[in-house]
Amino acid sequence: MRKCVVIMFLLIISSCLSTTDVTYDQNFNYDYQKGQVYRTKIVLYVIEGSQVYLAEPGNYSPELENYLKNKKKYPDIKGIVKDNEKIVIEKITYRKTFESSYIDVFAKILSGNFKGEHVRLNNISNYQFKPFPQGGHIPTINYKILEQIK
């Protein structure tokens, strides 16, 4: 009986925590699309956490001047992507958690010091909540940070 309860619990949890690749799924047709190329309009941090992602200086991260003065103080920051660098959208996933659901956008940096680095764009995106079939938080392009060029 105990094994049965544990198995049921694991099945429930696994159904509540999942990630699905929706790059080509028409039900998830929003701002970001695979193959789109953007250029950065401002300097961004490359931060390594549970995933590597881009972040805007001063937005839940140190101001650029503070980081440049003492880089060792911020070991999670791998470095900076300068303005006018190019990135391409590679993959879009749908992530379901206990609290809600999210669209995650992944890109590859095409130029500069981090050329070839794979990064998540959620932290530099705007958000809206849409009740699409699965419901969730949808990242939209922050035109203050990115400009689509292709």
The structure tokens listed for 131 are 């009740």
Nearest-5° Cα angle at 94, 85 to 114 = 20
* DSSP tag of 72: G
Predicted pLDDT at 133: 59
Cα–Cα distance between 19 and 125 in angstroms, integer?
19
**pLDDT beyond 50 at 1:** yes
List phi, psi (to 5°) of 145.
-110, -40
pLDDT at 52: 96
End-to-end CA distance of the chain: 58
Task: Give the mean model confidence (pLDDT) for residues 134-149.
Answer: 89
Residue 19 β-bridge partners? 95
Cβ neighbours of residue 65 closer than 8 Å, sequence gap 6 or more: none
Which class for 66: exposed (0-12), middle (13-18), buried (19 or more C-beta within 10 A)?
A: middle
**pLDDT score of 12 more than 50:** no
pTM of the model: 0.84
Three-state secondary-structure class, residue 56: coil
